[in-house]
Amino acid sequence: MRRFFSLFIILLIFFLAVPMTGLASGTFRDVSKTYTFYKEVEFLSSKQIITGFQGGIFRPDVQVTRAEAAIMIGRALGLNGEPRNTKFSDVTANVTGSGYIAAAVEKKIITGYSDGTYHPHENISRGQMAIILDRAFNLEDRHLSNPFQDISPSKAAYQSILNAYALGIANGYSDGTYRPEATVSRGHFSAFLTRALEPSFRGKPTFAIESVSGWEPGSSVAEVDIAHEWVVKFNDELDENWRNFENLRKNMYVVRERDNQRLDIFNPIISRDDPTSITLGLTALYDRNETYYLYITKDMTSKMGNPLAKPLKLKFHTNGPEYTINQTIEQDGIKLELAIDQSEEKVFAKVKATNVSSEPISYFGTNGCDKGIAADLFTDTKDGPVKIGSKWAPSGIACTLMIEHYVLQPGATIEILEVLYPPAEPVNGNIYVKAIFKREIDKSNPLIKPAEISIPLEKF
């Protein structure tokens, strides 16, 4: 019996000396090391930003009131919490947190309701929390593609939610929602406030799209002309390594609405000056008066390997020029047509050549990108016609130096669209568009020449 009693005492001492797994071992008895936000709660407690209740408990699952939120924010920022009357009819000096509420109002961190009340005992929502943190810590505005299906730009908390999300302060749910009207527990608020105060507690920066040239987030369709190129800006750097090139092409592509045909992007170009920006050479892919979708998938990754937070699906329509001036000639079996549309900054020139003879007609291109038919801007000088200005060419396309030879069969037609830009400096003389069909010279018949047609322009 005496031996049994001695063994009991030894076991009792052992169990008292060894802490039981799952029990609190920090500041609060009800916040164990296994609690998801244990470190965040301990961080705020160590700085005396949060306190518990009688008995050494924290109650992490209890909802945070608007007064409690003001108290924690006020302590975090070192505001004056001395009790006092406020501008709100329901917050007098007798209300817990009145001093911090008044100080936060002075700092323009919190506002009340239109009836002059604050509702200090009302539970704070996730949307309100984002606004308060945004104002308190002056978060930088992030113009991201909206990652949440339940918020929109019309909501007061919209930009604040995006800012907190982009910085890794507040995340959403697995179903793609943010739930701005849901209330916030003391544990969750501790996590959000800690991340705002100390960046080391934040997760990986969210990789997201900040802007797309020519497109306003929320618009149903973007109207662009045929010379438009998409410049997509991300909030993180992209990998410039050539091994990542195929990854870029795989995760960015265009789909034509009419027949659901996928069109791969020829050459995505990462800016050397700004590796967060990429230019998409889509202009070689689409035709005028068509509707398309630009896709950037969630498998797109940043240089650090972070996946895109929200994929992009951008609908766009290519505007068709209104060709108001037309000229046509027939010359040695070729019918050459030129139609132009002149705006303040550029000229759209459509050139069409048709073989109206009964024999094949040979023509040539001066390089791998020259299709044997072209249009350019010219002016006449004392030394003869001079080509001026420039023309649009799709980004990233490399042209070979080989002279290409083609054959236009009887009844066949070729057509191109050129976008021509005038020179930056004024021109002394008239400007005109000249189109040419580069017919092969027949040495046996020197009278047959390349077909040309011109249209004078209005002054730029």
Residue appearing with tokens 């076991």: 11
CATH topology (fold) of 209-318: Immunoglobulin-like (2.60.40)
Would strands 222-224 and 312-318 be described as parallel, antiparallel, or unpaired? parallel
As separate numbers, helices (DSSP H) first and strands (DSSP E) second, the chain gives 8, 20
Locus of tokens 């527990």: 185
Q: Where do the CATH 2.60.40.2360 domains begin and end in the chain?
A: 325-456
Torsion (CA) 366, 371, 373, 379 in degrees, nearest 10 = -50
186 within 8 A of 64, measured Cβ to Cβ: yes
Is residue 91 very low, low, confident or very high in pLDDT (cuts 50, 70, 90)? very high
- pLDDT (0 to 100) of residue 225: 79
pLDDT digits (tens, 9 = 90+) for 99-140: 999 999 999 999 999 999 999 999 999 999 999 999 999 998
Compute the half-sphere exposure of residue 411: CA atoms within 13 Å on the CB side of its CA.
0
| Cβ within 8 Å of residue 191, ≥6 positions away | 36, 37, 40, 201
Which segment of 25-39, 207-221, 264-278 scores lowest on mean pLDDT? Answer: 264-278
Domain topology for 325-456? Immunoglobulin-like (2.60.40)
The pLDDT score that the predictor gives to residue 24 is 41
Domain with CATH 2.60.40.1220 in the chain: 209-318
pLDDT digits (tens, 9 = 90+) for 178-214: 999 999 999 999 999 999 999 989 876 678 888 888 8
Provide the token pair at 391: 């023309």
pLDDT for position 174: 75
With beta carbons less than 8 A apart as the criterion, state whether 181 and 276 touch.
no
- The confidence band for 283, taking pLDDT boundaries of 50, 70 and 90, is low
145-157 pLDDT, tens digit per residue, is 788 889 999 899 9
Q: What is the pLDDT of residue 226?
A: 72
Q: Which helix (H) or strand (E) holds 405?
A: strand 404-408
**Is the pLDDT assigned to residue 75 strictly greater than 50?**
yes
- Answer yes or no: are the C-beta atoms of 362 and 439 closer than 8 Å: yes
Distance between CA 182 and CA 192 in Å, rounded?
Answer: 15
In which band, very low, low, confident or very high, does the pLDDT at 454 lie, cut at 50, 70 and 90? very high
Structure confidence by residue, pLDDT tens digits, 230-260: 899 988 888 766 456 677 778 889 999 999 9
d(CA 106, CA 75): 15
